Amino acid sequence: MVRATQTEIEEAVEALRAGDLVVFPTETVYGLGANAANPVAVRKIFEVKGRPPDHPVIVHLDDPRYLHRWVSSVPPVAEQLAEKFWPGPLTLILPKADNVNDIVTGGQDSIGIRVPSHPMAQQLLNAFGGGIAAPSANRYGRLSPTKPEHVRDELGDAVGVILDGGDSPIGLESTIVSCLDNQARLLRPGFITRTQLEQVVGSLAIGGFAPRSPGDGALHYAPSTPLEIVPSDDLEVRAGEITAREEKVAVLAMRPPLQTQRHMTWINAGKRPDIYAHNLYNHLRTLDRAGCVRIFVQSLPADERWAAILDRLQRASGLGDDSLELSVS
């Protein structure tokens, strides 16, 4: 995995200390980072993204030993999960310390913390020596970036420093688990599955509307083109209804098309959940640029390895988290 040069890291650290924003890679997606201890800098994240001010951001640390600077206590279930999955694609919701500004937490008494495993993120965090508040580096509600060019397409010149770590290894945002009141509650599925979490902490509560967490909007991770999830057998029929009107249609499937059609853009994303997840946002960006009136996505297997992907696609279609319980079972 690629590492940054010392000069690149020094430039990024200088920008953070000056109150500016820095884009950096993590193993999940690219983050738009600011000094988490500088409310004015964190506010710039919201301005650049167009993010609602009550929406919390995740604070990234290079090591759990700095947790005491950001949280008032670490419940036992959080200690167990951190020991097992950090560094890694897991965000824990914990009671915030009194010194943490409301801009970071969305005005809540809780805070999201993550220790990323990406070596370039670790380089940056270690050199900076503090917490970096960093949601995904995209406009609010839109597709998360998994390549530096996605960031440039989305944010343009709004950010001066972008650390280039190549493709994000995982390609989907972190699993989020609330550990408030020493109860583990899955708020957002991710690469770390429900079964893996329950092997550590036992039975896991699912969903809920408090605390608010990143990515919990009803329409989120969405392309500009309307997206709809349809059964495999209906893909060609639904696509044909649109192409018959001489309009363009896009399809993201797990198989090739039964027949090609004029005005149809089809991507076969395959049947491996890890590869599908890694490529998901890149594929959706490609289809979004194809000038189509609709994107049809083939419905996914009822398997927890697909739960995070299904969650993102449901939100991209505007279905929100109504079927979260089903999607992670």
Q: What is the pLDDT of residues 135-173, one digit of tens each?
A: 999 999 999 999 999 999 999 999 999 999 999 999 999
- Smallest CA-to-CA distance from 151 within 309, 163, 27 is with 163
Local confidence band at 323 (pLDDT 50, 70, 90 cut-offs): very low
Regarding whether 199 and 306 lie in a shared domain, the answer is no
Alpha-helical runs (H) found in the chain: 6-17, 39-49, 76-85, 102-105, 119-128, 148-155, 194-201, 235-243, 273-288, 307-316, 324-327
Among 206, 235, 251, give the residue marking a domain's end. Answer: 206
- Phi and psi at 84, nearest 5°, equal -85, -40
Indicate whether 328 pLDDT > 70. Answer: no
Confidence at residue 216, expressed as pLDDT on a 0 to 100 scale: 57
Number of domains the chain contains: 2
Least confident of 118-122, 220-224, 267-271: 220-224
**263: in domain:** yes
Q: Answer whether residue 219 is part of any domain.
A: no
Question: 151 and 67 in contact (C-beta within 8 Å)?
Answer: no
Distance of CA 20 to CAs 4, 25, 302, Å?
A: 19, 17, 43
Residue 268 belongs to a domain with what CATH number?
Answer: 3.40.50.11030
Claim to verify: residue 253 and residue 141 sit in the same structural domain: no
Domain boundary among 173, 206, 239: 206
pLDDT tens digits along 61-71:
999 999 999 99
Q: Label residues 210-233 b or e (16+ Cβ within 10 Å = b).
A: ebbbbbbbeebbbbebebebbeee
pLDDT of the residue at 207: 84
* Confidence label for 28 from pLDDT (cuts 50, 70 and 90): very high
Clarify whether residues 139 and 271 are in a common domain: no
Do 141 and 135 contact (CB within 8 A), yes or no?
A: no
Q: Report the pLDDT value the prediction gives residue 142, as an integer from 0 to 100.
A: 93
The better pLDDT of the pair 187, 260 is held by 187
Residues 231 and 167 in one domain: no
Is 244 in the same domain as 200?
Answer: no
Predicted pLDDT of residue 325 = 33
| Residue 59, strand partner residues | 113, 133
pLDDT of residue 322: 42
Domain that holds residue 283: 227-327
Instruction: Identify the pLDDT of residue 316.
Output: 95
Compare 218 and 13 and report the one with higher pLDDT.
13
The CATH number that applies at residue 37 is 3.90.870.10
Task: Tell me: do 113 and 258 sit in the same domain.
Answer: no
Paired tokens of 128 = 């900076």
**Does residue 174 lie within any of the structural domains?**
yes
194 with 234, same domain: the answer is no
235: in domain: yes
* Same domain (yes/no): 170, 300: no
Both 234 and 167 in one domain: the answer is no
Rg of the chain's alpha carbons, rounded to an integer? 20
**Average pLDDT, whole number, for the chain?**
93
Looking at the structure, tell me whether residues 165 and 251 fall in a common domain: no
CA distance linking residue 295 with residue 292, whole number of Å: 7
Question: How many other CB atoms sit within 10 Å of the CB of residue 98?
Answer: 6
Of 150, 148, 153, the closest CA to residue 164 belongs to 148
Domain boundary among 156, 175, 206: 206
Tell whether 1 is covered by a domain: no
Are 16 and 133 part of one and the same domain? yes
Question: Has residue 129 been placed in a domain?
Answer: yes
User: What does pTM read for this prediction?
Assistant: 0.92
Within-domain flag for 213? no
Q: Is 256 helix (H, G, I), strand (E, B) or coil?
A: coil
18 is a domain residue:
yes
Please give the Cα distance from 74 to 58 (Å, whole number): 16
Residues 66 and 184 in one domain: yes
